[in-house]
Amino acid sequence: MSQFTTGFSTFTVKRFAGENIRETTSKQGQQLRYTYEEYKVTADWLRANTEHRPLIAIICGSGLGGLAEILKDQKVFSYSDIPNFPQSTVAVQGHAGRLVFGTLNGKSCVCMQGRFHLYEGFPIWQVTFPIRVFQLLGVQTAIVTNAAGGLNEDYNVGDMMLIKDHLNLPGFAGNSPLVGPNDERFGPRFPCMSDAYDRDLRKLAQTVARELGFSDFLKEGVYSVVGGPSFETIAECHMLKRLGADAVGMSTVHEVIIARHCGMRVIGLSLITNKAVMDYDSKSKANHEEVLQTGRKRASQLERMISSFVERLERNNNVC
């Protein structure tokens, strides 16, 4: 690690997650971000190394990386081989750290096996880096999945929740991926989030669930993101429930904000992998192994649902 100081800023160059990441903090607290040209370098490198031109991006949550395995004609890249790409530090805990290109029911897709989280130490502009790269590759629809704790008393472990809205708790404190100068080449300064999760795509997902016989365990609700990595306290769970959250997790929302800023359509699915502890007399404890076990049990059904969903997008000419 090396450091030097100018009259205005202190610059640090360090090795982080296997790549050289440049950071700067000025007296005004500003941070150096990826430039449009750096996003383009990554997109151009991927375009040059695969013939796939994805219209759909699938982002896998904890224990749900098997979604990538349903893609045909795969071209796989390790995050460490992709220019400018961060590397997930939770690969052994359900995030493989690979970008998988392929086709699903004849439609070109790209799948992230492993996402990036604030709790890993990544600044939020790195957490959301892949989304803008996908936009430059031509992606029009983002399917985001996650493992979440159930706050709604009607939810059971193994239920799937179609996300209709979110609560962005880090955003309340100003930790938004859109903080800082806006690049109009990606999107507007003040993007609307009242329609973050596409209504028509949600309706299509509900239709697909009925046809597959999944309606009994498909819910629809509000997802709340927290910083993590500790699971929530009982008091925090009660607070989130009173605020209107049905499930809570540590990802997804930052990616959705950037996807909508870029003009993508978004559909989100949470797999309820554990019940949030709401009773002070309870001896239950949330743990990551429970998350992974539930993911493995429900994975095949989630794969069927997403595969059928993508097929219906194509069949209905539902612009993706």
One-letter amino acid at 1 equals M
Q: Write down the pLDDT at residue 314.
A: 62
Per the residue annotation, which of 17, 34, 62, 155 is the catalytic one?
A: 62
Percent of the chain residues topping a pLDDT of 90? 69
Identify whether the C-beta of residue 160 lies closer than 8 Å to the C-beta of residue 214. Answer: yes
For residue 10, is pLDDT > 90?
Answer: no
Q: Kindly report, residue by residue over 105-151, the tens digit of the pLDDT.
A: 989 999 999 999 999 999 999 999 999 999 999 999 999 999 999 99
Six token digits for residue 237: 């769970």
* pLDDT at residue 290 is higher than 90: no
Catalytic residue among 220, 288, 311, 318: 288
pLDDT in tens, 213-247: 999 999 999 999 999 999 999 999 999 999 999 99
Residues 79-88: what's their mean pLDDT?
91
**What are the residue boundaries of the structural domains of the chain, listed by start?**
36-315
Catalytic residue among 17, 57, 96, 147: 147
Q: Give yes or no: 49 in active site.
A: no
Active site residue 251: yes
Cα(260)–Cα(263) distance, rounded to whole angstroms? 5
> 52, 117, 166, 261: which is the annotated catalytic residue?
117
Q: Is residue 89 very low, low, confident or very high in pLDDT (cuts 50, 70, 90)?
A: low
Q: How confident is the model at residue 297 (pLDDT cuts 50, 70, 90)?
A: confident
- Whether the predicted pLDDT of 2 surpasses 70: no
**Could you say which of 251, 254, 261, 276 is catalytic?**
251
The residues, ordered by sequence, that sit 6+ positions from 55 with a Cβ below 8 Å of its Cβ are: 107, 108, 109, 138, 139, 140, 141, 320
Residue 108 falls in the annotated catalytic set? no
Percent of the chain with pLDDT over 70: 85
* Residue 62: active-site member: yes
Please indicate whether residue 166 is annotated as part of the active site: no
pLDDT for 94 beyond 80: no
Cα separation, 214 vs 207, in Å, equals 10
pTM of the prediction?
Answer: 0.86
User: Which among 216, 208, 163 is positioned nearest to 304, based on CA atoms?
Assistant: 208
Per-residue confidence at 286, pLDDT binned at 50, 70, 90? Answer: confident
pLDDT tens, residue by residue, 186-195: 999 999 999 9
pLDDT exceeds 50 at position 1: no
The confidence score (pLDDT) of residue 205 equals 97
Count of alpha carbons within 13 Å of 282, Cβ hemisphere only? 11
User: Hey, what CATH class is 36-315 in?
Assistant: alpha beta
Over 80: is that where the pLDDT of 21 sits?
Answer: no
Our measurement of the distance from residue 202's CA atom to the centroid of its chain's CA atoms, rounded to an integer in Å, reads: 17
pLDDT for the residue numbered 16: 38
Higher pLDDT, 26 or 163: 163
Structure confidence at residue 184 (pLDDT) = 96
Give yes or no: 119 in active site. yes
Q: Considering 95, 166, 254, 261, which one is annotated as catalytic? A: 95
For position 320, what pLDDT does the model report? Answer: 54
Catalytic residue among 34, 68, 120, 259: 120
Which residue type does 161 have?
Answer: M
How much is the pLDDT for 194?
96
160, 161, 205, 250: which one is catalytic?
Answer: 250
pLDDT score at 102: 97
Q: Is the pLDDT of residue 5 over 50?
A: no
To the query of whether residue 250 is one of the catalytic residues in this protein, the response is yes
238 is catalytic: no
Rounded to an integer, the average pLDDT of 294-318 is: 80
Identify the pLDDT of residue 283.
77
Q: Read off the tokens for 269.
A: 């699915």
Give the pLDDT confidence score for residue 313 in this predicted structure: 87
Tokens of 186: 């990606």
User: What was the pLDDT predicted at 11?
Assistant: 35
pLDDT tens by residue, 25-60: 433 444 468 999 999 999 999 999 999 999 999 999
